[in-house]
Amino acid sequence: MIPKVRPKSERKKVLELYLAKKHLKSTKQRDIIFDEFFNHPGQHITVEELYEKVKKQYPKIGYATIYRTLKLFKECGLAFERNFGDGKTRYEPVKFEGEHHDHMICVGCGRIIEFENQRIEYYSREVARLNGFEVLNHKLELYGYCGSCREKKKEGANNL
């Protein structure tokens, strides 16, 4: 079995190797962004959110640097770009094998709930097998209404 968790240092190493290979440079800004992005919570962070977090540590940071650095993380396979339909691109650390999770997205308030379900994973592989298909990765997103938005819908039903 593949190990469940890969330590921070491994991600850092991936980046360092990539920088070396492409003759890119290691900078203070990249370090801070790396740290904020990988070592602090906040899944599915937007560029703006990350910008604000980094700004606290490094006030003269510019938006462009955040954009460029996230693109860099994406290029070396460390970050994943997502878009849940609110006009903002979100990024999340790429999950290594065993860390996979799926998403429920509330179309009412935009809340994102993460989940993992072994049976869905199992049947996905099963369907694939029946089609001679070998699954490397999958993406599952459920769109609908979260609990509190369902309440709001009920309450407001008369007003429509």
Partner DNA sequence: ATTCATGCAAAATGTTTGCAGCTGT
Partner DNA sequence: ACAGCTGCAAACATTTTGCATGAAT
- The binding site for DNA (CB under 7 A) comprises 19, 23-30, 46-48, 58, 60-65, 67-69, 71, 87-89
Closest CB to DNA among residues 84, 106: 84
Kindly indicate which of the ranges 31-39, 47-55, 58-66, 137-145 contains the residues binding a second copy, using the contact rule CB under 8 A: 137-145
**Minimum separation from the CB atom of position 33 to a second copy (A):** 20
- Beta-carbon contacts of 96 under 8 Å, excluding residues fewer than 6 positions away, are 2, 5, 6
Q: Provide long-range contacts, Cβ within 8 A and 24+ apart, for 70-79.
A: 70/33, 70/37, 72/18, 72/24, 72/30, 73/15, 73/34, 73/37, 75/18, 76/14, 76/15, 76/18, 77/14, 78/11, 78/14, 78/15, 78/38, 79/37
Kindly indicate which of the ranges 40-48, 50-58, 59-67, 109-117 contains the residues binding a second copy, using the contact rule CB under 8 A: 109-117
Cβ-contact 116, 76 below 8 angstroms: no
- Beta-carbon contacts of 11 under 8 Å, excluding residues fewer than 6 positions away, are 38, 78, 93
Indicate whether 70 belongs to the interface with a second copy (CB under 8 A).
Answer: no
**Contacted entry of a second copy, DNA, none for residue 4, CB cut-off 5 to 8 Å set by kind:** none
- Given 131, 155, 157, 158, the residue binding a second copy (CB under 8 A): 131
**Minimum separation from the CB atom of position 18 to DNA (A):** 10
Residues found near a second copy in the complex (CB under 8 A): 21-22, 80-85, 89, 104, 106-107, 113, 115, 117, 119-120, 123-124, 127-128, 131-147, 150, 160
